[in-house]
A = this chain, B = another copy of it.
Amino acid sequence: MSARSTENDAIRVAVSTVIFSLRAAPDGDRLMLPLVRRTRDPHRGVWALPGGWLDADEDLDVAASRTLAETTALTPSYLEQLYTFGDVDRSPTRVVSIVYWALLRSDLVDTQRSTAGAPENVEWFDVDALPALAFDHRRIAEYALDRLRNKVGYSRIAAGLLPDEFTLTELREVYEAVLGRRLDPSNFRRLLEGTDELVPTESFRTGKHRPARLYRRGREA
């Protein structure tokens, strides 16, 4: 066991976060994630997921939040451990990366960036048009996207990406951005009626269209 312990010292532990939000694009809101351009070798100048080293005296989720804030100035609306990536050949030195995935309400992205000062070397990318990524970060981003699209409840997605109150149309547009395809408005409405995931409020969104009722999240979230 002592031989193993010595070898074990060569392993370093990092934390990375794939954080999704909705960002305005020419063809409507798109699901996007921020990447950080690396300023050090290996992969200097290449885009990578936000992250950093785990401190010896901090819990894993604290490290995820800290490294995300340090690199992007963002604070997630929802954060959950995703998977630990540790293939021997994923980096020139042995690095085990504990990866979190996170959601950020679209109404908070710009507030956070203007308060904290938008960090350099950070850019948002459409999940369907990612640039070349350092290490195994493309695989990690795709793993997180697969989870978001296939295993996360509607109500949690709404809670993580939308303000407290929203119209059914806004909610549908969120799902369309997450799923990457159009949904039929009447089917969508029918699907959500009668569930306890949504609670109607007495308020309406007014504007150039006819007034639309505002909803809140129900129990599941």
Contacts and interface: CB of A to CB of B under 8 A. Distances in A.
Contact of A11 (B4, B13, B83): B13
A125 interface: no
Interface stretch (A86-94, A110-118, A167-175): A86-94
B8 A54 contact: yes
Contacts of A84: 60, 81, 84, 98
Contact of A53 (B1, B52, B98): B1
A41 interface: no
Contacts of A58: 88
Contact of A8 (B5, B53, B88): B53
A4 B52 contact: yes
Copies in the complex: 2
Interface string A141-174: 0000000000000000000000000000000000
A14 to B, nearest CB: 8
Contacts of A81: 83-84
A9 B7 CA distance: 12
B7 A13 contact: no
Interface string A32-59: 0000000010000000000011111111
Nearest to A15: B86
A189 interface: no
B87 A55 contact: no
Contact of A9 (B12, B40, B52, B98): B12
Interface of A: 1, 4-5, 7-13, 40, 52-60, 81, 83-84, 86-88, 94, 96, 98
27 contacts: A1-B40, A1-B52, A4-B53, A5-B53, A7-B57, A8-B12, A8-B13, A8-B53, A8-B54, A8-B55, A8-B56, A9-B9, A11-B12, A11-B56, A13-B86, A13-B96, A56-B94, A57-B88, A59-B86, A59-B88, A60-B84, A60-B86, A81-B83, A81-B84, A84-B84, A84-B98, A86-B98
